[in-house]
A and B are shown apart, each in its own frame.
Chain A
């Protein structure tokens, strides 16, 4: 069974899946990595994004176009979520981790149930012309079903990274994480910067949702299986390192693909966490993070 084309294909599949994981993790990289808000509802927001995309594709739109349309409502959703979050906690002088985790936990339950009441518990999938065929490159067979969503990730990540590092409002977002007071001195309102950042993070969920539903069918509770991976990626990348998260996501994707090719697929759900636990034990600041 150990043939070179199986190995190559497994690695390519791993890279593609990893890239999809990276887009799932992108929003969390902003909320948790930069703003330090442990938004465990993010994977559920991604699933909500997938359902949004599904609904629009029922009217004949391409999933990627649907996702672009979804950016605005999801940005607004994020702004509202942050407004609620800060109304609850910021007035008490900052949230403690336990409470914000619980808040987002409750939120994800509510979203899941609303989705399942609205869409039923049946699986939903999108059918587009390019799903079902593949690109053949020598021994490699690359399904478009994975290739297209996988290409979405680097594009979105690059866009977000460019925004954060090259524009003024992006710099403000990165600054707010470090020194809120300095920001006030500079004449910016930290609360509105954070709100904006949370909005962007939530907007990425709809792109990730489009990627997710292209890869395979979706049900309202699908977010749960991603929570582990997504946090593993953000934490291991070193909080806030967005390009780093792409690298980690791909490492995890390859590891999972190799485990399922050579060991047994039934071990693959544990891979991300095994990597996370090892990573936390050996290098708590993350692979790309500065020591804290």
Chain B
């Protein structure tokens, strides 16, 4: 089998050498085996809300195949459910590589699920696109790993720096930090505390709380006692709801200028719909919002096709946060394959290191360890939300981009209490 594959590769190289672009998609290649792309998605378990990413993968596959495939070969997805458990990841990726013979790998969602696969791909020298894992490659430093997410370099500390830049511009001196005891939130809070120190802010309150905490009233009172001017919150969907409700019930000082930062939840339709106007004034991180500086025909067409599928599958009908970047993962792999005219990990990686790639979320260039050269995490302020209708979030003006400056679509409305009431 191996010799046959090598033979095909040889054929491909020879043919490409003879008449490079003209022959792509012709019958010589169409007979070849499909290119297999392997991934593990959390279809069940606590991270099941990320499963809408799979729609991004599938739309990409359909687009590529409709255009004749890659190097004339069809693209095939092999996807398994990791049940949101890191314990399942090693066996799944071994199956993808050793049994299913995948040419390209996409990582599981997030850093905790990706961590088990890093030593494996490094040891076997495989090509992988990382899905949303913060600082996923900072330990392994594998040179064939590329992030599809916009965290940027030094993401462990810096990804939420935008929030602190805004705080600094407002002259904030005292900041409070709270986080859920879960990987993403904990790293966000730790990074946040470092950045705050760098900017000479005093961290007056810094606490973590267990997942499934349903009452934050005592925590909010303690925060108020510390008298901060900004509150950086790294939370998960259930606690995001509880915190926002808690603030409404207990109240918060008029001195607080910025509130939010790294709350997971207000990016998703479920929470935007259930909390609606209660979210006004929140300044929070995001990866994509339909503001004029980000809207392109390509991404609009992506969402036009995403939404009906999502509605049918009963997942987030908005899907701003994750799905576009799953499509981007496919585009990165496609660029690497067509650009290097091979599925050889070293050649694909060399291409991505040397060339910036055009994707539906813009042009992406990579550092040596596969981070985006430029951080492009958005800090958006939620505004003017009326009622619980989800459709309003498809229009500009409700998720105003404050940071990065290159994409800015509005100024911060502060203090929080005033922005909240608007």
Contacts and interface: CB of A to CB of B under 8 A. Distances in A.
Given A125-B241, A269-B210, A141 B251 contact: yes
A255 B219 CA distance: 15
A216 B208 contact: no
Interface of B: 44-46, 48-49, 181, 207-210, 212-215, 217-219, 221-222, 225-226, 237-238, 241-242, 245-246, 248-251, 270, 274, 278, 314
Interface residues of A, number: 37
Contact of A131 (B49, B245, B251): B245
Contact of A132 (B181, B219, B237, B278): B278
A10 interface: yes
Interface stretch (A77-85, A103-111, A116-124, A154-162): A116-124
Nearest to B217: A13
Interface string A68-84: 00000000000000000
A264 B250 contact: no
Contact of A265 (B207, B246, B249): B207
5 contacts: A116-B44, A123-B238, A141-B251, A146-B217, A266-B207
- Tell me which of A3, A13, A216 has the highest count of chain B C-beta atoms within 10 A of its own C-beta: A216
B208 A261 contact: no
Nearest to B242: A216
Given A6-B221, A132-B278, A133-B249, A222 B241 contact: no
Contact of A6 (B208, B215, B222, B278): B222
A285 interface: no
A9 B270 CA distance: 31
A169 interface: no
B215 A215 contact: yes
Pairs of residues from A and B, 9 with the lowest C-beta to C-beta distance, nearest first: A216-B214, A265-B209, A143-B249, A121-B48, A134-B249, A261-B218, A10-B218, A266-B208, A132-B248
A143 B212 CA distance: 19
Contacts of B215: 13, 17, 146, 215-216
Interface of A: 1, 3, 5-6, 9-10, 13, 17, 116, 120-123, 125, 127, 131-134, 141, 143, 145-146, 215-217, 219, 222, 225, 257, 260-261, 264-266, 268-269
Contacts of B238: 123, 216-217, 219
Nearest to B84: A121
A3 B209 contact: no
A257 B250 contact: no
Contacts of A257: 218
Given A5-B221, A6-B218, 13 more contacts: A1-B226, A9-B221, A122-B49, A123-B238, A141-B250, A215-B215, A216-B214, A219-B238, A264-B208, A265-B208, A265-B210, A266-B209, A268-B213
B218 A13 contact: yes
Contacts of B49: 121-122
A265 B44 contact: no
A260 B49 CA distance: 29
A92 B24 CA distance: 74
B212 A225 contact: yes
Contacts of A225: 212
B222 A132 contact: no
Contact of B217 (A1, A9, A133): A9
Contacts of B45: 121
A41 B166 CA distance: 49
Q: Which applies to chain B's interface (DSSP): helix, strand, loop or mixed?
A: helix
A152 to B, nearest CB: 16
A108 B76 CA distance: 39
Nearest to A259: B218
B92 to A, nearest CB: 20
B241 A261 contact: no
Contacts of A145: 245, 249
A121 B217 contact: no
A126 to B, nearest CB: 9
B241 A123 contact: yes
B44 A1 contact: no
B243 to A, nearest CB: 11
A173 to B, nearest CB: 32
Most chain B beta-carbon contacts within 10 A, residue among A10, A122, A146, A257:
A122
A120 B245 contact: no
Contact of B225 (A6, A120, A266): A6
A123 B219 CA distance: 22
Contacts of B246: 143
A120 B208 contact: no
A146 B218 CA distance: 13
> Which of A1, A121, A134, A143 has the most CB atoms of chain B within a 10 A radius of its CB?
A121
Nearest to A5: B221
Interface centre among B237, B245, B250 (most CB of A within 10 A): B245
A230 to B, nearest CB: 15
A122 B270 contact: yes
Contacts of A13: 215, 217-218
Contacts of B245: 131-132, 143, 145
A67 B319 CA distance: 34
A214 to B, nearest CB: 10
B375 to A, nearest CB: 29
A266 B218 contact: no
A1 B207 CA distance: 14
A141 B241 contact: no
Contact of A261 (B46, B222, B248, B251): B222
B225 A265 contact: no
B249 A132 contact: yes
Nearest to B218: A261
A11 to B, nearest CB: 10
A265 B251 contact: no
